[in-house]
Amino acid sequence: MSTTKFEQYNFKPFILEAIKDLGFQEPTEIQERLIPVIAKGDSAIGQSQTGTGKTHAYILPILQKVNPDINQVQAVISAPTRELANQIYLEILKVVEHAPEAEKITARCFIGGTDKQRAIEKLKTQPQVVIGTPGRINDLVKEQALGLHKAGMLVVDEADLMLDMGFIHDVDQFASTMPAKLQMLVFSATIPEKLKPFLKKYMENPKYIQVAPNRAAAENIEHLILPSKHRNKVSLVRSALTAFNPYLAIVFTNTKKKADEVADGLIAQGIKVGRIHGDLSPRERKRVMKQVKDLEFQYLVATDLAARGIDIEGVSHVINYELPTDLDFYIHRVGRTARAGFSGIALTIYEPSDEDALNRLEKMGIQFKNVDLQKEELIEIAERNKRQKRKRQENEIDAKAKSMVKKPEKVKPGYKKKMQADIAKIKKRARKLGKGSK
């Protein structure tokens, strides 16, 4: 029987069997660092890129710790969106289905947009693991249908997004009904100041685990930038999609209104696209996600909610119709591609006003390749800031030459002219040397 590097964690046989079935050979960095911490019972704050195996980093040790003989809630996993909660639930089912009858673990998913009364009916028998959105979990606790007073483990996934969406209050409300000695696991791409009081309230000396802080985006993503040059951006997107012919591409916009505008524009140009944003009803979102899964769409237009709250498999290309105002979202958007060791392409259409944002992304370690579209073909072009670099070099030569020419101690008539002539000579020599070294 073949083994994997997960054997070192002494997981139950059914968990190891599930790991093999999932095709995992060795733990990712976050799994390697987090699994022993969770196994020990410590609380932790995890910061990691998307696509690094974070979900299984907490699912596996939590399922290891759940006691199948105790029929009460032992672990709660909260996620900001219905899709993410549902995905976590499905991943848990893939593991627990391997358990023999004596070790069966019950898991239930409770999300908004579903029949609350039916959920209350199902809770006549309490599950051992609860997954859900904060609002629905809190509702069920208030209705006294869900008892969390003995649940010793709580996961808060995508905590910064929870904060943005106003869900931290719900988490705080149901977490306050849980045991005082609570093992809390918080995952967040950033740790905003406004999140810190909540963390302080529930976590005493948590282990802080940050993975790959020096690498802004996955290494196997090629970052391309394309100047809009006052052209119709929807037509540029259509031409880029034609040039790429992707397996699955996501086009990101900053607002729901813009997502609809781009999707309608692409449809008008004969392209079949799906769309996903906060204004869709749960039923519509579910339908679009099913169509994406069934490969009915090759293209999807989405807002940033999809970048954080939905895990879409097989994304080969990401197109930024516009740069996000919060540059952290650039990382989340492009993180939709190049997952699980695959490569991906991220194309950003930019305006002259985006220069500062592009410079900041470059400082974060992202290397852009400059491209343009000619007859629906992408061609490489010169660097966007070549002119600025030349100007900067001129300024540097100027400053250096001035520093080398000193004002004479005894000032004679015409000294300024002589100084300027000396500066000009030094600059001329510097430029010659610069050309010779090319």
**How far, CA to CA in Å, does 210 sit from each of 34, 47, 214?**
10, 5, 10
CA–CA separation, 109 vs 132, rounded Å? 5
Q: Going by C-beta distance under 8 Å and a sequence separation of 6 or more, which residues neighbour residue 220?
A: 338, 341, 342, 343, 344
pLDDT for residue 398: 63
Whole-prediction pTM value?
Answer: 0.63
Question: pLDDT tens-digit profile of 28-38?
Answer: 888 999 999 99
CB of 277 closer than 8 Å to CB of 307: no
5-210 and 221-380, same CATH topology? yes
CA nearest to 397, candidates 428, 435, 421, 420:
428
Q: What is the structure's pLDDT at 411? A: 57
CATH 3.40.120.10 fits 221-380, yes or no: no
Chain centre distance of CA 8 = 29
Separation in Å, CA 340 to CA 52, 130, 228? 8, 27, 32
Q: pLDDT 10s digit of each residue in the chain, 438 long?
A: 456 789 899 999 999 999 988 888 888 888 999 999 999 999 999 987 556 788 999 999 999 999 999 999 999 999 988 888 988 999 999 999 999 999 999 999 999 877 888 889 889 999 999 999 999 999 999 999 999 999 999 999 988 888 888 899 999 999 999 999 999 999 987 788 888 999 999 998 899 998 764 455 567 899 999 999 989 999 999 999 999 999 999 999 988 899 999 999 999 999 999 998 877 777 888 888 888 888 888 999 998 866 666 668 889 999 999 998 777 778 888 888 887 667 899 999 999 889 888 988 887 788 899 999 988 889 998 877 654 544 445 555 566 555 665 656 665 666 667 767 777 777 677 666 655 544
What are the domain boundaries of the chain? 5-210, 221-380, 387-436
Q: Per-residue pLDDT tens for 309-353? A: 666 888 999 999 999 877 777 888 888 888 766 789 999 999 988
| pLDDT at residue number 213 | 46
CB atoms within 10 A of CB 227: 18
**Cβ–Cβ under 8 Å, residues 300 and 252:** no
Contact 6, 19 (CB under 8 A): yes
Count of residues for the chain? 438
Pick the CATH number of 5-210 from 3.40.50.1580, 3.40.50.1360, 3.40.50.10490, 3.40.50.300: 3.40.50.300
| Per-residue pLDDT reduced to its tens digit, 207-260 | 999 876 445 556 789 999 999 998 999 999 999 999 999 999 999 998 889 999
pLDDT at 49: 59
Check residue 385 and give its pLDDT: 64
Distances (CA, A) of 408 to 177, 379, 401, 412, 425: 80, 55, 16, 8, 17
Contact residues for 266 (Cβ-Cβ < 8 A; gap 6+): 234, 237, 238, 241, 251, 273, 299, 301
Tally of CA atoms within 13 A in the half-sphere of 433 that contains its CB: 8
Under 8 Å between Cβ of 402 and 423:
yes
324: closest CA among 300, 348, 345? 348
Query: Is residue 135 within 8 Å of residue 116, measured between CB atoms?
Result: no
Q: Classify the C-alpha dihedral 94-100-103-109 as positive or negative.
A: positive
Q: CB of 44 within 8 A of CB of 186?
A: yes
Per-residue tokens: 213: 């802080």
Cα(226)–Cα(348) distance, rounded to whole angstroms?
Answer: 6
Pairing of strands 368-374, 377-380: antiparallel
**Nearest-CA neighbor of 251 among 300, 293, 296?**
300
Q: Are β-strands 249-252 and 377-380 bridged in parallel, bridged antiparallel, or unpaired? A: unpaired
